[in-house]
């Protein structure tokens, strides 16, 4: 164990830490020095999205002290940025210690003279975003690690627009957090009178906003008995998803009971992530038993939703985030046109790694489609900059997150569950399944097929290995991939796009981000992006070709899948 780690361990053993923390450190010294080193080799970074890490003792773990120090830094910046009364809302998910961490954060803020609205019990992350604007708060915090495994927890910080922090506030908060070098600098208690519990009254306001998002309520009235299966995967969705479906008018909703109870141990799954087939397996079983029309599953903090529908052979299939986004965006754009709601200033927004098919059909429908960096804070930032000039309709990203309307400034699985079911009801009213509707979109606009692989690099060396991979791609970019020349290189870190044939370089008008995209002459696109919350580097693949008729769907699917696999093989990623 090096001297820096030993010094940090000594500080925790000699400081004003609780007896359980000290006892755990001493036990690790005796029984697991490698784990102790990992717990102290660095400080858990308060990044632009807040904190996320494994729970436990140490500077590199989620615990009372790292949460308290981060909250003190956040409080210090809030008091610099605002004058007069400062108000902040706090919510949490179903994870182990989430309530405890929420109370720690509330106590620290209150002790700093900040008025805190603390939800009485677990609530979805999007409701926290709504609450900030609804109660006129200057910021917010939600305790969640989203879809990470059960040993993780996290802390997301929000600003007064209901969105996660963007420049300059993100870096300014990080700077203030980094100034807190000791737990002795934290105001742990003394302001309890500044904490106000909130609950059902805010739920009611949020649900009413979601009810107003319905585009074709008359279709739901006609198709109210659409058979829906829903699973909250032991998370916060159980608090509001069944209720919003009821208020929309759906009368045939079935909850997966084995996963209905909030539980931070997530006993029925390995990963509480609706992107994973394993997490949706109990829901699929119930959907098959009931011969349902659609299955929906939300992650622990209910900002992401996954769905499953029957394919052309009547077999259940999980749609990926791009496919759901394509269906949802298309339904909203075309539904607004059918109802006479569309306007000249309507726009949608997606991230640069989300399906380009959305750009294609948005343009054909005279709707602007803006592309931003990964993360809903950038969609929210665009909404703020365009307020009063253009009308935001919906936004989304390939990682199963969608935002409908602008009253919530983060991805919202509760709203998405409602609109996706309305979308399924409309398809049924037309004698179509959602799967058939997806193929119709491909026939009309082109078949875009996407894939994603994540390469995990754990431990102390992982970050360095990922950085080296990106450095190699940036300094020595491939000239061909899978036999097709690289036509264009997008470097979001350098904020430039380069035509590799002509050498022409143009600026990218987006903030810096460590993302590279290779666009090939055959239309394929490969994106490389290190995760901001996990020790992973993600590679996104997009390939496309025309689909002349629905009967060709299987053959074209096979061809596009093979192209993706050939690209992965050529890039030596597997």
Domains by residue range for the chain, with CATH:
42-198 (3.40.120.10), 206-445 (3.40.120.10), 449-570 (3.30.310)
- For Cα atoms 253, 323, 399, give the angle at the middle one, nearest 5 degrees: 90
Mean pLDDT over 423-447 rounds to: 97
pLDDT at 146 over 80: yes
Mean pLDDT over 80-100 rounds to: 98
At residue 536 the predicted structure's pLDDT band, cuts being 50, 70 and 90, is: confident
Rounded Cα gap, residues 304 and 301, in angstroms: 8
pLDDT at 247: 98
pLDDT at 2: 83
Mean pLDDT over 340-356 rounds to: 97
- Asked if 64 and 105 touch (Cβ cutoff 8 Å), the reply is no
pLDDT at 532: 66
Tally of CB atoms within 10 A around 33: 13
Q: What is the mean pLDDT of the chain?
A: 96
HEC profile of 210-260? HHCCCCCHHHHHHCCCCCEEEECCCCHHHHCHHHHHHHHCCCCEEECHHHC
At residue 136 the predicted structure's pLDDT band, cuts being 50, 70 and 90, is: very high
pLDDT at 485: 96
Question: Nearest to residue 140, comparing CAs of 121, 126, 156, 151?
Answer: 156
- Phi, then psi, of 465 in degrees rounded to 5: -65, -40
pLDDT at 87: 98
pLDDT at 460 over 90: no
Mean pLDDT over 491-514 rounds to: 94
Which residues are catalytic, by number? 146
pLDDT at 407 over 80: yes
At residue 282 the predicted structure's pLDDT band, cuts being 50, 70 and 90, is: very high
pTM: 0.95
Name the residue with tokens 């909703």.
253
- For Cα atoms 430, 434, 435, give the angle at the middle one, nearest 5 degrees: 120
Mean pLDDT over 45-69 rounds to: 94
Rounded Cα gap, residues 303 and 402, in angstroms: 8
At residue 457 the predicted structure's pLDDT band, cuts being 50, 70 and 90, is: confident
- Phi, then psi, of 150 in degrees rounded to 5: -65, -25
Mean pLDDT over 508-513 rounds to: 94
Alpha carbon of 434 to those of 49, 170, 415: distances in Å?
A: 34, 40, 18
pLDDT at 531: 80
Query: Which residues, 6 or more positions from 470, have their beta carbon under 8 angstroms from its beta carbon?
Result: 514, 516, 528, 530, 537
Rounded Cα gap, residues 322 and 307, in angstroms: 11
pLDDT at 1: 61
Counting every residue written for the chain, the total comes to: 574
pLDDT at 464: 85
Rounded Cα gap, residues 38 and 460, in angstroms: 7
DSSP code for 274: T
Rounded Cα gap, residues 208 and 503, in angstroms: 53
Percent of the chain with pLDDT over 90: 94
């Amino acid at each position: 164990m090096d001297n820096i780690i030993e010094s940090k361990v000594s500080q925790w053993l000699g400081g004003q830490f609780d007896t359980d923390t000290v006892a755990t450190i001493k036990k690790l010294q005796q029984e697991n020095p490698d784990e102790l080193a990992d717990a102290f080799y660095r400080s858990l970074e308060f990044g632009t999205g807040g904190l996320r890490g494994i729970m436990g003792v140490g500077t590199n773990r989620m615990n009372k002290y790292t949460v308290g120090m981060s909250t003190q830094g956040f409080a210090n910046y809030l008091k610099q940025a605002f004058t007069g009364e400062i108000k902040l809302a706090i919510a949490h998910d179903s994870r182990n210690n989430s309530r405890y961490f929420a109370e720690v954060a509330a106590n620290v803020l209150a002790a700093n003279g900040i008025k805190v609205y603390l939800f009485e019990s677990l609530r979805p992350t999007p409701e926290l975003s709504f609450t900030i604007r609804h109660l006129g708060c200057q910021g917010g915090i939600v305790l969640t690690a989203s879809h990470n495994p059960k040993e993780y927890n996290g802390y997301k910080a929000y600003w007064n627009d209901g969105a996660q922090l963007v420049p300059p506030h993100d870096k300014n908060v990080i700077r203030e957090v980094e100034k807190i070098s000791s737990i002795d600098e934290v105001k742990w208690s003394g302001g309890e009178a500044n904490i106000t519990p909130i609950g059902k009254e805010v739920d009611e306001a949020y649900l009413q906003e979601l009810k107003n998002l319905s585009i074709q309520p008359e279709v739901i009235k006609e198709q109210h008995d659409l058979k829906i299966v829903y699973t909250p995967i032991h998370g916060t969705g159980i608090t509001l998803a069944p209720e919003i479906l009821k208020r929309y008018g759906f009368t045939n909703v079935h909850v997966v009971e084995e996963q209905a109870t909030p539980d931070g141990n997530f006993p029925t799954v390995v990963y509480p992530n609706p992107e994973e087939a394993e997490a949706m397996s109990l829901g699929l079983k119930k959907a098959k038993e009931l011969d349902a029309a659609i299955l929906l599953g939300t992650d622990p903090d209910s900002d992401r939703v996954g769905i499953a529908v029957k394919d052309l052979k009547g077999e259940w299939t999980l749609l990926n985030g791009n496919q759901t986004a394509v269906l949802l965006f298309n339904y909203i754009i075309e539904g607004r046109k059918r109802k006479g709601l569309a306007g000249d200033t309507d726009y949608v927004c997606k991230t640069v790694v989300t399906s380009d098919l959305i750009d294609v059909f948005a343009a054909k429908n005279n709707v602007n489609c803006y592309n931003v960096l990964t993360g809903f804070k950038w969609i929210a930032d665009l909404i703020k900059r365009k307020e009063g000039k253009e009308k935001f309709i919906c936004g989304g990203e390939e990682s199963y997150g969608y935002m409908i309307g602008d009253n919530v400034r983060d991805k919202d699985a509760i709203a998405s569950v409602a609109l996706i079911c309305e979308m399924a009801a409309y398809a049924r009213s037309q004698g179509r399944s959602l799967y058939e509707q997806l193929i119709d979109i491909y026939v009309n606009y082109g078949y875009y097929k996407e894939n994603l692989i994540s390469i995990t690099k754990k431990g102390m060396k992982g970050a360095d290995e990922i950085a080296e991979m990106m450095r190699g791609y940036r300094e020595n970019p491939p000239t061909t991939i899978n036999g097709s020349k690289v036509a264009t290189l997008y470097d979001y870190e350098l904020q430039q796009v380069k035509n590799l044939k002509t050498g022409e370089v143009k600026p990218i008008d987006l903030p810096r981000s460590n993302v590279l995209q290779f666009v090939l002459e055959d239309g394929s696109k490969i994106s490389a992006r290190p995760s901001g919350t996990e020790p992973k580097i993600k590679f996104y693949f997009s390939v496309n070709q025309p689909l002349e008729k629905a009967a060709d769907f299987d053959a074209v699917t096979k061809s596009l899948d093979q192209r993706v696999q050939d690209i992965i093989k050529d890039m030596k990623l597997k």
